[in-house]
Amino acid sequence: MEEKDFERYYSLIETNQLKQLKNELTEMAYPDIAEFIMSIEDEKTVVKVFRILPKDISADVFAYLDSDSQEIIVRLITDREIERLMDDLYVDDAVDFLEEVPANVVRRVLANTDRETREIINRFLKYPENCAGSVMTIEMVELHDRLTVGEAIKNIRRTGVDKETIYTCYVIDDKRHLVGTIPLRRLILNDEDEYLTDIMSDDEQLISVTTMDDQEDVAALAKKYDLLSVPVVDRENRLVGIITIDDIVDIIDEEATEDFEKMANLRPSDDEYLKTKVLKLAKNRIPWLMVLMISSTLTGQIIEGFESKLAAVAGLTACIPMLMGTGGNSGSQVSTLIIRGLALGEIKVKDYFKVLWKEIRVSIMVGFALGVVNALRMFILRSTIGNDASNSVILVVSLSVWCVVIVAKIMGCTLPIIAKLLKLDPAMMTGPMISTVVDAISLLIYFTLANAIIPF
């Protein structure tokens, strides 16, 4: 969608050519209409444009709006319009919306919804955030296990319009137990008089999750088995909903964002950056910065205990930032790979010793290369700008680089796996931990080597 189109729509609004605008908007895809509505600044105009949308597409467009625009619309439309809108929304979209808006808006919406829908929505709102129950939808195709292919297709044609996806159909028995799945594809490609039970996937091939499962596990299953939707069952294996691939894609993005935030020492947040208030951003950032600052008291103490030597030997102090930086960077290189590998299921806790052995070899090589280059760097500095680092200082620094890289890589692969073993989030535990631990150990190595090699 080009920006210039929006300009034209704005001018249609200004000149009140609403019929023309309606025609043009109706031609567009729902996300583009939503994008246009979100770009409007005046609240009344937002509602005006939303109201000219044909009834059959307004709920679809509504689902693509951000929560700010949704709130504006619901605040300004009539009770009658709210009722209709809630009726037309898929349950999962309605729940998404209600989870984001203030309590008074939720009350008004629920007061204008029929009892049945209200009960369903209330049930959904009670699932804890990020579990399968809270992201599922109940608009799925359920087929009875006595049907034939022909009957099933007839059934889908009759009821399919209201279903969020009809591409995977779920076969249930009399007690609503999930007994099998059939892709629509298989229905279409089979003979009309085949029985569903003969062509459905069942038993070992039947993938499902329960309402309380973590959404991350749902995404992992969908990825592993290339599913277009994942069925959700209760504890008695009764089908209660499905999670569709478009929501799974959102979950994948959300989970990756969460890991990015945790690894950058941020408190994770579901909100988009531009929509988050300054105070909230500050609140998300202060805790870990505080923890890290206070824990750096440790490195401060280590340096103080060594201050007289640092003052006496020229060049030792100047290398502290380089050493700590190299340690921190080496550690975060590994921990990132391990955290990501754990998140994608490519690395498991039981692989620890394989990982450790690999890192030991890698770090010996990497540390050696860095140590040698560091020695060269320091020789060149001395001969060009007359830096006064002695040979023994150069030896100490280069040896320290080597050791620090090895220790940092070992910590970087060990801490995430320990976190996973303790059922903690590897991403959460390791960013802050690694920097503090590696900083302290780097300094201890440096000063120990300095004491051993440089006469005082």
Q: Is 384 in the site for a copy of itself (CB under 8 A)?
A: no
What is the residue-wise DSSP string for 306-341?
Answer: THHHHHHSTTTGGGHHHHHHHHHHHHHHHHHHHHHH
Contacts within 8 Å (CB) and 24+ apart, 222-230: 222/248, 223/252, 224/345, 227/168, 228/165, 228/167, 228/168, 228/183, 229/140, 229/165, 229/167, 229/168, 230/132
How far apart are the C-alpha atoms of 375 and 397, rounded to whole Å?
8
Nearer to a copy of itself, 109 or 187 (CB): 187
Report which DSSP code applies to 237. Answer: -
Minimum gap (Å) between residue 52 Cβ and a copy of itself: 17
* Contact of 294 with 286, CB cutoff 8 Å: no
Q: Is 452 in the site for a copy of itself (CB under 8 A)?
A: no
Which of 314, 421, 424, 453 binds a copy of itself (CB under 8 A)? It is: 314
Minimum gap (Å) between residue 403 Cβ and a copy of itself: 15
In three-state secondary structure terms, 233 is strand
Which of 113, 208, 330, 400 binds a copy of itself (CB under 8 A)? It is: 330
Q: Is 156 in the site for a copy of itself (CB under 8 A)?
A: yes
Site residues for a copy of itself, 229-268, by CB under 8 A, read: 245-246, 248-250, 252-253, 256-257, 259-261, 263-266
Query: For residue 197, which amino acid is it?
Result: T
Tokens of 175: 């007690």
Q: Is 425 in the site for a copy of itself (CB under 8 A)?
A: no
Q: Is 450 in the site for a copy of itself (CB under 8 A)?
A: no
Minimum gap (Å) between residue 96 Cβ and a copy of itself: 14
For the chain, how long is the longest CA-to-CA vector? Answer: 94
142 contacts: CB under 8 Å, gap ≥ 6: 169, 170, 171, 172, 176, 239
- Name the strand (E) or helix (H) holding 232: strand 229-233
Q: Is 439 in the site for a copy of itself (CB under 8 A)?
A: yes
Q: Is 422 in the site for a copy of itself (CB under 8 A)?
A: no
Site residues for a copy of itself, 168-197, by CB under 8 A, read: 184-185, 188-189
Closest CA to 434 of 361, 330, 286: 330
Of the listed pieces 92-100, 231-239, 309-317, 445-453, which binds a copy of itself according to CB under 8 A?
309-317
Nearer to a copy of itself, 82 or 220 (CB): 220
Minimum gap (Å) between residue 104 Cβ and a copy of itself: 27
Nearer to a copy of itself, 105 or 184 (CB): 184
Nearer to a copy of itself, 47 or 170 (CB): 170
Which of 71, 194, 351, 425 binds a copy of itself (CB under 8 A)? It is: 351
Nearer to a copy of itself, 116 or 388 (CB): 388
- Distance in Å from the first CA to the final CA of the chain: 71
Which of 69, 113, 332, 430 binds a copy of itself (CB under 8 A)? It is: 332
Q: Is 140 in the site for a copy of itself (CB under 8 A)?
A: no
Site string for a copy of itself, 204-233 (x = CB under 8 A): xx-x--------------xxxxx-x-----
Q: Is 279 in the site for a copy of itself (CB under 8 A)?
A: yes
What is the residue-wise DSSP string for 373-440?
Answer: HHHHHHHHHHHHH-----HHHHHHHHHHHHHHHHHHHHHHHHHHHHHHHTTS-HHHHHHHHHHHHHHH
Tokens of 134: 């809270």
Nearer to a copy of itself, 13 or 245 (CB): 245
What is each CA distance from 23 to 10, 85, 197, in whole angstroms? 14, 21, 47
Minimum gap (Å) between residue 444 Cβ and a copy of itself: 13
What is each CA distance from 392 to 68, 135, 396, in whole angstroms? 64, 62, 6
Which of 7, 16, 346, 453 binds a copy of itself (CB under 8 A)? It is: 346
Nearer to a copy of itself, 293 or 452 (CB): 293
Of the listed pieces 8-16, 89-97, 110-118, 330-338, which binds a copy of itself according to CB under 8 A?
330-338
Which of 75, 144, 377, 382 binds a copy of itself (CB under 8 A)? It is: 377
Dihedral of the alpha carbons of 282, 423, 256, 166, in degrees to the nearest 10: -130
Q: Is 111 in the site for a copy of itself (CB under 8 A)?
A: no
User: What's the per-residue H, E or C state across 127-189?
Assistant: CCCCEHHHHCECCCCEEECCCEHHHHHHHHHHHHHHCCCCCEEEEECCCCEEEEEEEHHHHHH
Q: Is 456 in the site for a copy of itself (CB under 8 A)?
A: no
Site residues for a copy of itself, 18-37, by CB under 8 A, read: 27-29, 31-32
Minimum gap (Å) between residue 184 Cβ and a copy of itself: 7
Q: Is 203 in the site for a copy of itself (CB under 8 A)?
A: yes
What is the residue-wise DSSP string for 372-385?
Answer: HHHHHHHHHHHHHH
Q: Is 326 in the site for a copy of itself (CB under 8 A)?
A: yes
Q: Is 100 in the site for a copy of itself (CB under 8 A)?
A: no
